[in-house]
Amino acid sequence: MEKERKIQITGEIEELVNAASSIYLTDFSGMTVAEISELRDEFFKAGVKYRVVKNTLALRAIKQSGNFSEFEDLISKSIKGPTGIVFSGTDPVAPAKILKKFFEKTQRPKLKAAIVEQEFYDSEKLDLLASLLSKDELIAGILSSLNSPVSGIVGAINACIRDLSSVIEEVAKKKAA
């Protein structure tokens, strides 16, 4: 590979690393072209970037970016053999959910390691990562928790009004009879 091309690829990967809130290292060996295309489509739908590059170029880009610099040693130990890198920006757990769903179906790709919100996870933690709530799910849960006391008060007031109208209606029926 030409030196200019290597520098260009390293720069592209460095930009992806700088923009990422999480990265996932996967072993894609044994996957068919159709499976990889399907996986890429799932990542695209979720707004996640997926790249396969030479391990040396990926390591160089991660070192140059400084975004995950405290994990360089752990990443260099994990980035052996065929490696696909998943970059997630806004939803750091979306790739884990996609990888788990895909792994359950095809037993591939295997997670080598992940760095999510400045925490390192090894290959055994895919289920844990996939079970985490996304930011949107967390926000929805908080909003429903904030909304539930108000809903309870509204329900109680409506019940009082309903009970009062029932009492008035019964009194009116007795007087009419």
The predicted-structure confidence for 79-125, as pLDDT tens digits, reads as follows 888 889 999 888 888 888 888 888 888 888 888 888 888 888 887 77
Q: What is the mean pLDDT of residues 43-53?
A: 90
pLDDT of residue 50: 92
Predicted TM-score (pTM) above 0.75: no
Token pair belonging to 150: 């108000």
pLDDT at 1: 65
SS3 call for 116: strand
Mean pLDDT of 164-168: 77
Q: What are phi and psi of 29, to 5 degrees?
A: -60, 140
Residue 131 has pLDDT above 70, yes or no: no
Mean pLDDT score, 145-160: 71
Contact status, residue 3 vs residue 11, Cβ threshold 8 Å: no
Find the mean pLDDT for residues 54-78.
Answer: 83
Query: pLDDT value at position 62?
Result: 84
| Residues 93, 130 contacting (CB under 8 angstroms) | yes
Average pLDDT over residues 137-149: 73
pLDDT, mean of residues 3-26:
88
Q: How many helices (H) and strands (E) does the chain have?
A: 7, 5
Cα–Cα separations (whole angstroms), residue 86 to 24, 30, 34, 48, 154: 5, 18, 18, 7, 46
CA neighbor of 23 nearest in space, from 59, 45, 39, 174: 59
